[in-house]
Amino acid sequence: MSQLQILEGCEEFALGEGPVGALLVHGYTGSPQGMRGLGEFLSSKGINCVGPRLPGHGTTWQDLNVRTQQEWRECVESNFDALKGRCEEVFIVSLSFGSALCLELAAKRPDEVAGLVSLAGIVFTKDPRRHLTPVIRRVIKSLPGVGNDIADPEMKELAYDRLPTTSTQHMLRQLNDTRAVLPQVTCPILVMHGRGDHTVHPDNAQYIYDNVGSTDKQLIYLERSYHVITLDLERDAVFEATYNFIKERAKHAV
């Protein structure tokens, strides 16, 4: 099988160095581009940042449509392990569907994740089509995309303009699996979400906050932002809050 070309700007990244690491995981149909600005900011503060590209992302929606839940899980876990091999402690920062994957990892490995930041995280959807996914994927291969939900007219997310239906079924399974293990998440957690999010209902933020087992937890709503809060009008506040969360909980100075 030939290697698909990665779209310009969607490449994974590794920035900075030091004993404190941060794994930055993007969302479904998106790419590392959505996390790069945050990675550049955190690395400038002395944090070792890695932004992996989930399988099937940053290439074509057809490529994503043949990818599975297990592939995404393995990508997150292997990148976490690699970063942990270079750093004394590792935090996780996740966007949208990346949060579903990372919350599950935090539940499975509570003694290894130093803390987690969930940005516009999703663990459930209210879209009525979710019940019809097994049927829809047999009839049509893609639907109109859900990317680039940003209030700032000068910013653009590099995401697919189509939503692949087969891999969406794997995505929905992951949401179910993540909800089931939320009580096992015990690491410090910061949850941030835009009030105007049209892609992931803001109720997800409260649900995550209420159901994790963590005692050290914070919930912040952004009043002027839509879904991609790492690129939106309040991105500077997102960057600062993420850095402060890590700084206040890291055992090493950053």
Residue-by-residue pLDDT tens, the chain, 254 positions: 457 899 999 999 999 999 999 999 999 999 999 999 999 999 999 999 999 999 999 999 999 999 999 999 999 999 999 999 999 999 999 999 999 999 999 999 999 999 999 999 999 997 655 544 564 566 577 888 888 999 999 999 999 999 999 999 999 999 999 999 999 999 999 999 999 999 999 999 999 999 999 999 999 999 999 999 999 999 999 999 999 999 999 999 99
Tokens 């490529």 locate to 63
Question: Dihedral sign, CA of 160, 239, 117, 253?
Answer: positive
Q: Collect all residues with Cβ–Cβ distance below 8 Å to 134 and sequence separation of at least 6.
A: 169
In-domain check, residue 2: no
Q: Which helix (H) or strand (E) holds 98?
A: helix 97-108
Q: Which of 95, 102, 91, 141 is nearest to 252 (CA)?
A: 91
Classify residue 3: in a domain, yes or no: no
Instruction: Say whether 227 is catalytic.
Output: yes
Does residue 7 fall inside a structural domain?
no
> What is the value of pTM for the model shown?
0.94
Query: Does 5 fall in a domain?
Result: no
Q: Taking a C-beta distance cutoff of 8 angstroms, is the pair 95, 25 a contact? A: yes
CATH of the domain at 215: 3.40.50.1820
> 101 in a domain, yes or no?
yes
Would residue 149 show up in a list of annotated catalytic residues for this protein? no
78 classed as catalytic: no
Six token digits for residue 149: 């939900």
From the candidates 43, 118, 197, 232, which is the catalytic residue?
197
Residue 162 belongs to what domain range?
13-249
**177 in any annotated domain:** yes
Catalytic site residue from 94, 149, 227, 232: 227
Q: Number of structural domains, the chain? A: 1
205 within a domain of the structure (yes/no): yes
Identify whether 65 is part of a domain: yes
Q: Measured between alpha carbons, how far is 153 from 117 in angstroms, rounded to an integer?
A: 26
Catalytic residue among 31, 94, 96, 167, which?
96
